[in-house]
Amino acid sequence: METIHNLGLGFEAALSAENLLFCLLGVSLGTFVGVLPGIGALATISMCLPLTFYLDPVPGMIMLAGIFYGAQYGSSTASILLNLPGSAPAAITCLDGYPMAQQGRAGVALFLTTIASFVGGSFSIMLMIGFAPVLADFAISFSSADYFSIMVLALVAASTLSNGSFIKGIAMVAAGLVLGLVGTDISSGVPRYTFGIIDISDGISLVAVAMGLFGVAEILNNLMQDEHAVVDARSITFKSLVPTRQDMREFWPAAGRGSVIGAIVGMLPGTGPTIATFMSYSAEKRLSRNPGKFGKGAIEGISSPEAANNSSVQAAFIPTLTLGIPGDAIMAVILGGMLIHGIAPGPQLIANDPVLFWGVIASFWIGNVFLLILNIPLIGIWVRLLTVPYHLLYPGMLFFICIGVYSVNNSTFDVMLTLIFGLIGFGMMRFGFPAAPLLLGFVLGPLIEENFRRALVLSRGNLDVFVSRPVSATFLGLTLLVLLASIPQVRGLFGLIAKGRKGQAVNE
C-alpha cells in the first residue's frame, strides 16, 4: 500500500502542467538529437544542463531524464536508415536494421524498434516501482570479482557478434582492450601509452571511436560504391509499416529477453546501455536455431537490443538515485545536475525527497507514452531520409558527426581522431574485421582492469577469489562454455553428437 501511495504522489507531481511541458520538451529534444547521427544524449544533456539551473529540481530532472531515454528511441532511426548509430548503444542495431532497410522493410524495422523500446522501458519502470530498494541491494552486493567475471563473459561473447571468423572477433576484442589502456592509470596516476599527447591523457574518446568506426567508415564505404540502396518513400504507407504475424512471433520473445538483460545490466553501477545491447544481441544469436540469419535482417537482431537499450537506461537510474553511483557518463552528468540543485542521491533520497524520487519515476512512464505517440506517426518522415541522394546527404552527415564529436570536449583533436578511426574502420570493413567487438572491448577495458585490480587488492593477491565466490564462478563457467561453443572444432563435435542422437531416435 505504501508503494501505491508513493506512486500516486509521483503521478500527482508528474502530471502538473509544468512538469508535463518539460517532460514533452525533454523527450522531443532527445528524439531529435537521437535521430541525427553524431549528436547523442551526452552532448545534449551537457549543453542543456545550465538551463535546468533556472528550474525547480523536479522539472529539471524530468527534462534531463527525458532527453536521455528519448535519445535512445531516436538513435535507432539513423542506424536503420543510414547505418549510422545515433549513439554508441545503437551501433548494434546497424547489424540487422540496415539490411532490413535495404530489403525495403525500413518501416517495419522502425515500428518494431519503437515498440521494443517501449516494452523495455516499461519493464524497467515496473521494476523500479516495485523493487527499487531490493534491486539496489542486489547490485551493491556484487564484489569486484563478480564484476570482473561478468565483463569477461561479455568480452568473450562479443567475439561471436560477427558472422565472420571467430579469430578475427577475438583479435578485435584484444584491440579494443589495448585502446582502453590509453590514458592515466587509475591507481598510480601515471599516463600510459599517450606518447606525450595531452589530449588523450584522460583516454580516447568513446564518441570518437564509435562515430569513426560506424559513421565515417560507412560513409567512405558507400562512396566507393556506384549504387546505393534507397527506399521508395511513396511505397511506404501506414499499411506497409504493419509487421507480419511471423515478425511478431519472433519479436515478442526477443523483446522480453532483451528487457530482462537490459534491466539486469543497467542496474549494475559502472555499466550502461552499450554493454546491455551487445550482450542481448549475443544472447539472441546464441539462442537462435538459425544464427546465420543475423546480420541479414533478423527481427530478433533489432528487437532484443532496442528493448535492452531502453530497459538499461531506465534501470540505470536505480543505482544513481538510490546509491548515488552513476551507471555511465550520461548518468554522471545527471548526478552532477542533482548535486548542483542541492539534492543528495543515496539511500535516504526516497525518505527525504519522495516527491522528486517518485515524480521522476512517474514521468518515465508518461515520457514513454509521449515517445510512442511521437515516433509511430513520424515513421514515414524518417523513411524519406533514404530518398535523399547520397552525394547530397553525406556532407551533412559528416557535418553532424564532427559537430557532435567536437561538442563533447570542445576538442578539434577528437574530430581528427574520429576521421582516423573512420579510415581504420573502412580498412576493417574491407578485410572482414568486425568493429562491434572492438567497441565493446574498448568500453569494458578500463572497467575490467579496475575491478581485477581491486579484487586482487582485497584478496591480497590470491586469484582464488575469482572462483571461490558463487556469482563469479558461475559467470566464469558460462564464459568457458561460450568459448568452447565458439571454437569450430567443438561446434563440429556437438553437431556430430546431435546427428548421432537424431539417427538413433529414427532407428528406434
pLDDT of residue 383 exceeding 90, the answer is no
Find the mean pLDDT for residues 297-309. 92
CA dist., res. 386 & res. 397, Å (int): 13
CB neighbours of residue 49 within 10 Å: 17
Q: Please give the pLDDT value at position 420.
A: 92
> Is 162 within 8 Å of 150 (Cβ atoms)?
no
2-24, pLDDT tens digit by residue? 678 878 888 999 999 999 999 99
| Grid cell in block for residue 170 | 577475438
- Residue 506 is predicted with a pLDDT of 46
Strand, coil or helix: 104: coil
Q: What is the DSSP string of 111-158?
A: HHHHHHHHHHHHHHHHHHHHHHHHHHHHHHT--HHHHHHHHHHHHHHH
Q: What cell does 229 get? A: 540502396
Which residue is associated with the grid cell 581522431? 417
Average pLDDT over residues 178-184: 87
pLDDT > 90: what percent of the chain?
15
CA distance 65 to 73: 13
pLDDT of 64: 86
Q: What is the CA radius of gyration of the chain?
A: 22
* pLDDT of the residue at 90: 80
- Please provide residue 184's backbone torsions phi and psi, each rounded to the nearest 5 degrees: -90, 130
Say which amino acid occupies 482: V
Q: At what angle do helices 94-102 and 299-315 cross, to 10 degrees?
A: 140
Q: What is the pLDDT averaged over residues 129-144?
A: 68
* Half-sphere exposure (Cβ direction) of 117: Cα atoms closer than 13 Å: 33
Q: What is the pLDDT of residue 38?
A: 55
In contact, 183 and 194? CB cutoff 8 Å: yes
| pLDDT surpasses 80 at 370 | yes
Q: Which residue has the higher pLDDT, 36 or 115?
A: 115
Q: Give residues with Cβ within 8 angstroms of 108, minimum separation 6.
A: 100, 240, 241, 242, 243, 247
DSSP string, 461-489: T-TTHHHHSHHHHHHHHHHHHHHHHHSHH
For the chain, the structural domain boundaries read 2-500
> Over 60: is that where the pLDDT of 501 sits?
no
For residue 25, the model assigns a pLDDT of 92
Which pLDDT belongs to residue 357? 85
Of the ranges 222-231, 459-468, 483-492, which is most confident?
459-468
Count how many Cα atoms sit within 13 Å of the Cα of residue 334 in the half-sphere of its side chain. Answer: 31
Sequence length of the chain is 508
Which pLDDT score is estimated for 448? 83
Taking alpha carbons only, the member of 304, 305, 306, 312 closest to residue 256 is 304
236 phi-psi bin (left φ>0, alpha ψ -120 to 50, beta other):
beta
**Residue 183 forms beta bridges with which residues?**
192
Q: What is the pLDDT of residues 279-295, one digit of tens each?
A: 899 899 888 888 888 98
Q: Give kind and range of the element (H or E) at residue 223.
A: helix 217-223
Q: Residue range 409-417: average pLDDT?
A: 85
Of the ranges 162-176, 187-201, 244-258, 302-316, which one carries the lowest mean pLDDT score?
162-176
Q: Which three cell numbers stand for residue 107?
A: 518501416
CA atoms within 13 A on the CB side of 222: 22
How large is the average pLDDT for residues 104-133? 86
pLDDT (tens digit, 9 = 90+) per residue, 321-336? 876 666 566 777 777 7
Q: Would you give the DSSP letter of residue 88?
A: G
For residue 213, pLDDT over 60 is answered with yes
**Which phi and psi angles does 192 have, rounded to 5°?**
-125, 130
pLDDT-wise least confident of 90-99, 122-131, 209-218:
209-218
3-state secondary structure of 192: strand
pLDDT at 101 over 90: no
CB count within 10 Å of CB 35 equals: 23
Low-confidence winner among 227-241, 402-416, 479-493 (lowest mean pLDDT): 227-241
Residue of 113, 139, 117 lying closest to 69 (CA atoms) = 117
Mean pLDDT, the chain, as a whole number? 79
User: Residue 303: its pLDDT value, please?
Assistant: 93
